[in-house]
Structure 1
Amino acid sequence: MPIITKITVQKNLSDRYNIYLDEKYAFSVDEEVLTRFQLKKGKELSELDLTEIGYEDEIRKGVNSAIQYLSYRMRSEKEVVDHLRKKEFTEEIIKEAIHKLYKLQYLNDLEFAIAYVRTQMNTTNKGPEVIKLELKNKGIHKEMIETALLELKEDHVLSSAIALVEKTIKQNKSLPEKIILQKMEQALLRKGFSREIIHQAMDGIKIEQDEEVEREILYNHWLKAHKKYQHLNGYEYEQKIKQFLYRKGFSLDQIEGFLREIEL
């Protein structure tokens, strides 16, 4: 059986050791593996020993890779598994590494889910349904998601929805009121707010637009419509213009009043 003739610390990785068998470099191991197998100069290693050492060291590499990945922020089990797969660890090694990470308390999907909800609550305007979907995509079980979502209090959810409404108004001041209201509802739905919260957030919203600015917006849209349909005449021209402006969010009263005005 081969004998360990020398053990040296790697230059760039102080927790890994080079193992020499019969005066020749054979393999390297993590410090934890070195200690567990009591590797030292003069020790004989069988083929079974070498297989077990290689297997345990591969697990340790997986654990270390995961710990480095986790050092940036909390991760779900699925995120860590996906990371290890990208690093080309085998499924068996990944399974053992995940088991050790739980034992070392590096992984806890419920704590991760709760922390994730709190972060989204404090840094974004996302609604419950979007957060729920994101947690599901991160591999969190349904029961854990429901528990984590208890962190979202209704008053905070409503405040987030109202903030999104105000942001939408600010970003779309140059659009007709009807379109702004549509964009509000679409934004709230995309962000995962319920119909009830959307109704509460939009209830009583008043979009105050300067009449001159609103008329200028209408006029600019009319110019586009006129350019597109100027080859038409009479009733057909008028209907196309009205349809165009109506699709842009202007009311029929606004459109007809404007058209009467420009005919004067």
Structure 2
Amino acid sequence: MPAISKITVQQKNKGRFNIFLKRGDQEQFEFGVSEDILVQYNLHKGMELSEDDIKQLKNKDELHKSYTRAIHYLSYRMRSEKEVFDYLLEKEVEEEDAGDIINRLYKEQLLDDRAFAESYVRSKIATSSKGPVLLKQELLRKGVPEDYIHAALESYTFEDQYKKAHKFGMKKVNDSSKKSFQQKLQAAKQTMMQKGFTQDVIQEVSMQLKEEKEDSVEWESIVIQGEKAFRKYEKKAEGFELKQKVMASLYRKGFSHELIQRFFEEKGE
């Protein structure tokens, strides 16, 4: 039975060790192991190893290297269980071994799909333009259980959605194209839907955009009518009397008190 003849530290990785075995009169490098395995199996010079022992130690070391890869993969950002599992399979780790690594990561609290979903949603709310429908689809593709997703999306408030969706809507209806407002509004709705916003948010934003458009048209109209009235009456009146005549003219045309007051304030009267 071969015995360990020498153990040396690897030059490029001080946390790994070379195991040399003596078979008859021949000494040769047999395999490398991590420090954890070296200590766990109490490997030492003179220790005899059967072929089964050698095979088991090699398998254990491969599993440890795969675990280390998973840790490295997790070091960049949080990952879902499915992301880590798929990554290990891509690295040609056996499914059973990948499952063992996943279980170890859970025990060490390095994996947590619930916490991952919460972090993912918070990050996307802060840094992206995506709505909750799109975030749900992304999390489902990452293998996160649906109940975790629903719980995480509770932090995506109606107000947060509305602000983001309204920004897109404003950009669409105020573009410089020659399309009608209705066509622009339809394009805005389509964009909001593609971004993953819910129907109630899209409907609320659409109504607000219509109101803002009507207010804009109404303001343009009162400016035109107000200036016209000033030109008409300034030859016959001035000061307070002129203002009263213009105001009366605007009231007769159906403009609201608030809009008339704004007109005079903007004009500096």
TM range (shorter): 0.7 to 0.9
What corresponds to 1:160 in structure 2? 164
Q: Which amino acid aligns with 2:190?
A: Q
Report the RMSD for the aligned CA atoms in angstroms: 1.8
SS at match of 2:110: coil
Matched, 1:17 2:17: yes
Q: How far off its partner does 1:175 sit?
A: 4.1
Where do 1:143-154 residues align within 5 Å? 143-154=147-158
What corresponds to 1:174 in structure 2? 177
Task: Give the alignment's TM-score, normalised by structure 1.
Answer: 0.75
Q: How far off its partner does 1:173 sit?
A: 2.4
The 3 A distance-change label for structure 1 pair 21 and 113 is: same
Matched, 1:35 2:39: yes
What corresponds to 2:125 in structure 1? 121
What corresponds to 1:203 in structure 2? 207
Task: Find the structure with the greater CA-based Rg.
Answer: 2
CA distance in 1, matches of 2:157, 2:36: 45
Q: Which amino acid aligns with 1:174?
A: S
- Per-residue CA distance 1:142-180 (angstroms, 9 max, x = gap): 11111111111221121121122233345x322412332
Q: How far off its partner does 1:134 sit?
A: 0.4
From 61, 68, 71, give the equivalent of 1:64.
68
> Structure 2: which 5+ residue stretches go unaligned?
221-269
Task: Give the alignment's TM-score, normalised by structure 2.
Answer: 0.73
What corresponds to 1:219 in structure 2? none
CA distance in 2, matches of 1:40, 1:21: 11
What corresponds to 1:106 in structure 2? 110
SS at match of 2:8: strand
> Structure 1: which 5+ residue stretches go unaligned?
212-264
Q: Which amino acid aligns with 2:176?
A: K
SS at match of 1:126: coil
The 3 A distance-change label for structure 1 pair 127 and 175 is: farther
Greater alpha carbon shift after TM alignment, 15-24 vs 48-57: 48-57
Q: How far off its partner does 1:11 sit?
A: 1.8
CA distance in 2, matches of 1:35, 1:135: 40
Q: Which amino acid aligns with 1:152?
A: Y
